[in-house]
Each structure stands twice: as C-alpha cells, then as structure tokens.
Structure 1
C-alpha cells in the first residue's frame, strides 16, 4: 500500500507539472499574440505619421518594415508553440488517465479491506452470539 501511495503522489506531481507546462505555453502564446498586436498598432501609427502605406514605396518607413518583420516572427513563434501546446495537452490527458487508474486501484483495495474487516467483525459477532446461546 505504501508503494501505491508513493506512486499516487508521484502521478499527482506529474499531473501538476504537466498543467504548469501547459499554462506556461498558453501564456507564451498569448504574450506573443499581444506583442504582435502592439506591433500592428505601431505599424499603422507609423504609416499614418509618414502618409506612406505602400510597402514597396522607396520612402516607406524602415521602422515599419522592421516592426512587420518582428510581428511576423512573433506570429510564427506563436504558431510553432501551438504544436507544443497540443502535445502538452495530450501529455496532460495521459497523465490524468494514469493517475485515475491508480486511484481506482487504490479505492478497490480499500473497499476490499473494508469488506474483509466487516466480514471479520461479523464472524466475531456471530461467534459471541453462538457462545451466549450455548449458556
């Protein structure tokens, strides 16, 4: 039983760790998207300031070009993290499933132990009753 309790604690730790990893990936994706949105706003503001919106124009703002490149890189990174996010979700689901299996095994063992103890108590009560009936 002690080994199983240790295994349950280990599995719970693993589930918690997988949840933390998943939350961290979600936070990174959200942060990248937020930064990309800010860059979009800066690009529009720069285009409005210069009055040039045509990217191929010779006088197009180098700041706007650089911001576009950073925005595209952030979006690409967020898209790459989506694959990691899906893998982390799958790993979490698997860890939760393993934990549930072990917890169910522990519950069944405890139920068997309770049942055995109840049977022993009943046998003792029956024996006492039989001894009293003989008197």
Structure 2
C-alpha cells in the first residue's frame, strides 16, 4: 500500500507544481500586458506634448491616438481573459493542494499504524521474555 500511496503523492506533487508553474506564467503574462499598457499611455502623453508644443496641426496625431486607443482596448480584453485564467488556475492549484493533502494524510496514518504495530510487537516480545524469566525464577526457587 505504501508504494501506491508514494506514487500517488509524487503524481499529485508533480501536478501541483505544474499548476503553480502555469499560474506563474499567467501572472507574468498579465504583468507584461500591464507594462505594455503603461508604455502605450506614455507614448500617447509624449505625442500629446509634442502636438501641444507645435504650431503646426498634425493630422497624423489623430491616427496615432486612434491606433493607441485600439491597442489599449485589445490589451484590456487580453488582460480580462488572463485574469479569468489566473482565477481559474488558482482554483485548480487549490484543488490540487487538497488532493495532495488527502494522500499525505493517508500516508501519515499508515506510518502511524505501522509504528503502533511495531510497538505492539515489541511489547509482546518483552512480555514473552518477562514470562519466561518469571518461569525460570519460579523453577529455581521451587
């Protein structure tokens, strides 16, 4: 039974580690999207400053601003999808952790049973030795 439990524990640890790795990847993707969003906002501010300091009306700014707004919208959609994936993965990590703990508890109980069984065996051996010593002492005395 112990080999089977050990195998299940290894499997569930691997699954938990894999889900944690996936969660980390998703969080990294989210952080990258946030950084890109910030870069776009900075580019827009920079272009606004250039246009406001210029005497010439720049028609390309309108196109630039529209393109930035579209890219920001797509980033927000991607971020929403990633946030949903992160929440889902957190649930999966939690479930994997619970499953792992179930097997670890079973393993711990099995170890405790084995220790108790060994203790009972040792006590029985000691009891038998005591009985034999008592009989020998009674035979000598009698």
Match of 1:91 in 2: 92
The unaligned stretches of length 5 or more in structure 1 are none
Deviation at 1:72, TM superposition (A): 1.7
Greater share of helix: 2
* Structure 1: distance between partners of 2:76 and 2:31: 10
Matches within 5 A, 1:18-29: 18-29=19-30
Deviation at 1:64, TM superposition (A): 2.6
Q: What RMSD in Å do the two structures reach over aligned CA positions?
A: 1.6
* Structure 1: distance between partners of 2:33 and 2:112: 50
Deviation string, structure 1 residues 1-29 (Cα, Å, up to 9, x no partner)? 11110110000000000100111111101
Deviation at 1:63, TM superposition (A): 2.2
Q: How high is the TM-score relative to the length of structure 2?
A: 0.87
1:73 aligns with 2:74: yes
Q: How many residues align?
A: 131
1:134 aligns with 2:123: no
Matches within 5 A, 1:112-131: 112-131=113-132
> Please, which moves more after superposition, 57-66 or 73-82?
57-66
Deviation at 1:76, TM superposition (A): 1.4
Compare relative contact order (CA 8 Å, sep 6+) and give the higher one, 1 or 2.
2
